[in-house]
């Protein structure tokens, strides 16, 4: 039995669909709280339909007793933790909410896993943890001690908490630093959906830093494939771990961190060009300064992931955008 938190989220919905297609039994939880587009989470759940093997429960990970009861009932072998308060800019305006959901909620998942003999915890981290680091591509072995957003700080805190549980209690934990995931049913607060809605409606779009921000856009199907492969490989102690020169990505404990990115970053302006081409409309672009919580560039080094599970991203940017636009024309937010 698999626990999937954040099942009504963007990645959660797609991951649930794949797990169920492979015959897995999944308990999916979500608190169905407010998001940038009302009703979106419910629509994602409806898209999953009455799939055999899915048991949905409305549970908030910040509710420790409710989560503990769920673990006691099902004795999960694997937990995939995706529930979070997302949004770099949102976290700047609502820092306490972000900390409670992302850190306290994750601590509840870890503690329930410890108490109830969880076999493996896979959890979502973020490329934002690289923060003020300017050396590209980002490697899991680089220091990540200078976050530039509250959201990034919460995700780095999760990684540190995971390591402590791996060390103290032997709980295998695998953290995944996702890089700008996009695709059908994507988050309404992220660039692809924001831009698509505006372009389709003939509204101008706000483009930060002259469109010169570099992003490693990663298509959702590639992300799901990486998560699924890693679920079957619980983290193990690194026999080469050197406590005199500790590697942030590995440990003497069953702990591991991987980048999940496309490895082919593009300028934001080029992403907009491709989106305009797919939609068949041009956008009026309003220049805006880059917010202080944003990073100028992200680029993933995924050599470790390739060595571990043989994974490489399979979806070129324009192919992914075409899939996204095809979905958007049928189900996008502007048609809700």
- Report the distance separating Cα 200 and Cα 189, nearest Å: 16
The reply to whether 258 belongs to the active site is no
Which entry of 123, 151, 182, 258 is annotated as an active-site residue?
A: 151
Reported as half-sphere exposure (CB side, CA atoms, 13 A), residue 136 has a value of 15
Closest C-alpha to 181, from 38, 12, 54, 42: 12
DSSP conformational letter for 142? S
72, 114 Cβ separation under 8 angstroms: no
Query: Within 10 A of 7 (CB to CB), how many other CB atoms are there?
Result: 28
Distance between CA 137 and CA 300 in Å, rounded? Answer: 5
Between the CA of residue 65 and those of 58, 69, 198, 330, what are the distances in Å?
14, 6, 43, 40
Catalytic machinery residues: 151
């Amino acid at each position: 039995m698999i626990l999937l938190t954040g099942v009504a989220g963007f990645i959660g919905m797609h991951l649930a669909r794949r797990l169920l297609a492979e015959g897995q039994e999944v308990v999916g939880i979500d608190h169905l709280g407010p998001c940038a587009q009302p009703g979106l989470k419910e629509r994602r759940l409806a898209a999953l339909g009455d799939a055999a093997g899915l048991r949905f429960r409305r549970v908030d990970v910040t509710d420790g007793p409710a989560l503990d009861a769920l673990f006691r009932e099902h004795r999960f072998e694997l937990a995939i933790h995706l529930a979070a308060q997302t949004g770099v800019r949102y976290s700047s305006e609502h820092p306490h909410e972000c900390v409670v959901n992302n850190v306290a909620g994750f601590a509840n998942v870890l503690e329930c896993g410890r108490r109830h003999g969880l076999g493996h915890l896979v959890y979502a981290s973020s490329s934002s943890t690289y923060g003020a680091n300017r050396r590209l591509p980002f490697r899991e072995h680089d220091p990540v001690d200078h976050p530039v957003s509250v959201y990034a700080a919460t995700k780095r805190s999760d990684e540190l908490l995971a390591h402590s549980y791996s060390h103290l209690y032997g709980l295998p934990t695998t953290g995944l630093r996702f890089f700008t995931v996009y695709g059908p049913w994507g988050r309404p607060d992220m660039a692809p959906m924001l831009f698509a809605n505006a372009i389709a409606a003939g509204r101008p779009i706000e483009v930060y830093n002259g469109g010169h921000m570099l992003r490693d856009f990663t298509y959702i199907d590639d992300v799901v494939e990486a998560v699924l492969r890693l679920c079957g490989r619980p983290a193990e102690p690194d026999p080469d771990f050197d406590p005199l020169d500790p590697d942030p990505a590995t440990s003497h404990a069953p702990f591991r961190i991987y980048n999940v990115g496309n490895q082919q970053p593009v300028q934001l302006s080029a992403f907009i060009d491709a989106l305009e081409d797919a939609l068949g409309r041009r956008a009026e672009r309003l220049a805006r300064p880059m917010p202080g919580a944003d990073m100028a560039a992200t680029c993933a080094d995924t050599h470790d992931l390739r060595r571990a599970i043989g994974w490489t991203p399979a979806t070129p940017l324009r192919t992914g955008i075409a899939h996204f636009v095809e979905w958007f024309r049928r189900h996008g937010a502007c048609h809700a």
